[in-house]
Amino acid sequence: MTIKDLKPARVWNVFDQITQVPRPSKKEGKIREWLINFAKENKLEYKVDEIGNVAMFRPAAPGFENAKGIILQAHMDMVCEKNKDSKHNFDTDPIETIIDGEWVRANGTTLGADDGMGVAIALAVLTDPAIIAGPLEGFFTVDEETGLTGASNVGEGMLKGDYLLNLDSEDDGIITMSCAGGMDTLATFEYKPLDAPKDLIYFNLKLTGMNGGHSGTDINTERACATRQVARMLYDLRVIDYELATIDAGNLRNAIAREGEATIGIKPCDKENLSAAFNEFAAMVKEEYKISEPNFKAIITSVDAPAKIINKADAERIVNTLYVAPHGVQSISLEVEGLVETSTNLSSIKMHEEGIIEIVTSQRSAVGSRKMDTAHRVETIFKMGGGKVRHTDGYQGWAPNKNSKILKTAIRIWKGLYGVEPKVEAIHAGLECGLFLKVNPNLDMISYGPTLRNVHSPSECCHIPAVQKAWDFTLGIIEDVKNEK
Ligand SMILES: [Zn+2]
């Protein structure tokens, strides 16, 4: 038995073909060519825009020319992760799929059901002769995973419909109706490097074992954030006369920092005091975060003298600025229960070149003005501390629309099919949907998809029964919309 034998056969057949085509993010040439051939073979009108997105159009069936147009949207790229022992070459090799009980996974690599399954459902709809409907469009974006560049640069003549079904969500029974917009705020602080005094003794202070997590969806979990704790540690240690030599924390802009460290020099007579102050700090953090960070560790190690230290006044200025910089949830939604509306993440502190400390932060909000407000506050604090600041362009959010017609239809269809209310969610993370509003501010959208687990990792798997449910749900929506008055 192969995945081609699974049901619905039309969807799994297309998915099987997609797994044969390499499609790493930013290298979508082969999958785009495959999509174009698919459109030609199935006599679908198609369009490719400058960035490389592909749209396919299926005209309305006779009698349904005036029905609302539906766009089935998915991204054509995939995250390429494999196990250490896998010889897989993502640029050339097909994904090897394995049926494992109720799940399909790959052999030591990501499966690419994120979002190949979305592409497969859309293409299966476009080519199913049993579907009699109004105008349908398949819209397939490039590079969702590493920059949303396809969705940010939608060309003319794409996205013609009134409703958009984004097929990039991962939980059966959940319909997403809102996502956050985001932007980054980056600062550089100059300092004067000085030769490290030889009469001091030096210590590395390391904070580690924290959970980290996604800077959007995990921001309300009270995790410790290593960048923030390193700044706080250096602030608290001001009771001791120390020289700061190095500071380093965090890594990815979209992750909560898991570890961080600093190197400081002290007079030999202060050794006991440092050890007491450091242990006191560590015990305090451990107690405060005993529930969210049970594995938090603080380690102090004696190290050789570094070549340089940071001039004291500069070090104090930078530490104080980091200490007061905002981090975490800034506002919660009163429209959608439990939704973080606005947040900021103190992502990383790095010393890539001598004389400069780089800080990366990242802001998110479902409300554009609040995202800007938070970014401006971060900017102002960094400027007050003498930093030079710039923002990235960022991407737009998708605010909740409780009057959405397609959402109401979707809820009714789901209930009719499965006898239960679907969960309607807003997420504090980015989706391509927000960016489509730039092209058509009136686009009425929802996002859903069959259950996927462990996406972006070699354990990625797709729940087989959920594919049938997502398929029937999609057909139900299409059928309903064509008769909409
Ligand atoms: Zn995806």
Distance 152 CA to ligand 1 centre (A): 15
Distance 144 CA to ligand 1 centre (A): 7
pLDDT at position 393: 85
Identified catalytic residue from 137, 144, 243, 444: 144
Identified catalytic residue from 16, 28, 77, 114: 77
The pTM of this model reads 0.82
Query: Smallest Cα–Cα separation from 359: which of 275, 211, 445, 249?
Result: 249
Distance 169 CA to ligand 1 centre (A): 7
| Rounded Cα distance, 381 and 187, in Å | 10
- HSE on the CB side for 297, CA within 13 Å? 8
pLDDT at position 21: 98
| Rounded Cα distance, 159 and 155, in Å | 9
CATH 3.40.190.10 fits 3-180+398-482, yes or no: no
Reported as a single tens digit per residue, the pLDDT across 197-253 is: 999 999 999 999 999 888 888 899 999 999 999 999 999 999 999 999 999 999 888
pLDDT at position 400: 87
- Residue 240 and residue 266 in contact, taking contact as beta carbons nearer than 8 Å: yes
Distance 166 CA to ligand 1 centre (A): 10
CATH 3.40.630.10 residue spans of the chain: 3-180+398-482
Distance 432 CA to ligand 1 centre (A): 9
Distance 123 CA to ligand 1 centre (A): 17
| Rounded Cα distance, 434 and 432, in Å | 6
77 is catalytic: yes
| Rounded Cα distance, 462 and 481, in Å | 28
Distance 176 CA to ligand 1 centre (A): 14
pLDDT at position 34: 98
Give me the CATH topology for the region 182-391: Alpha-Beta Plaits (3.30.70)
pLDDT at position 84: 83
* DSSP per-residue letters across 109-165: B---HHHHHHHHHHHHHHT-TT---S-EEEEEES-TTTT-HHHHTPPTT---SSEEE
Q: Within the chain, what is the greatest distance between any pair of CA atoms?
A: 90
Distance 44 CA to ligand 1 centre (A): 25
Distance 380 CA to ligand 1 centre (A): 34
Distance 35 CA to ligand 1 centre (A): 18
pLDDT at position 348: 95
Q: Give every residue of the chain whose pLDDT is below 50, as ranges.
A: none
Distance 161 CA to ligand 1 centre (A): 22
Instruction: Kindly provide the residue ranges of all beta strands, DSSP E only, lying in 267-387, ordered along the sequence.
Output: 297-303, 308-310, 328-332, 340-350, 356-365
pLDDT at position 399: 87
pLDDT at position 65: 96
171 is catalytic: no
CATH 3.30.70.360 residue spans of the chain: 182-391
pLDDT at position 213: 84
Distance 143 CA to ligand 1 centre (A): 10
State which amino acid sits at residue 402. K
pLDDT at position 430: 85
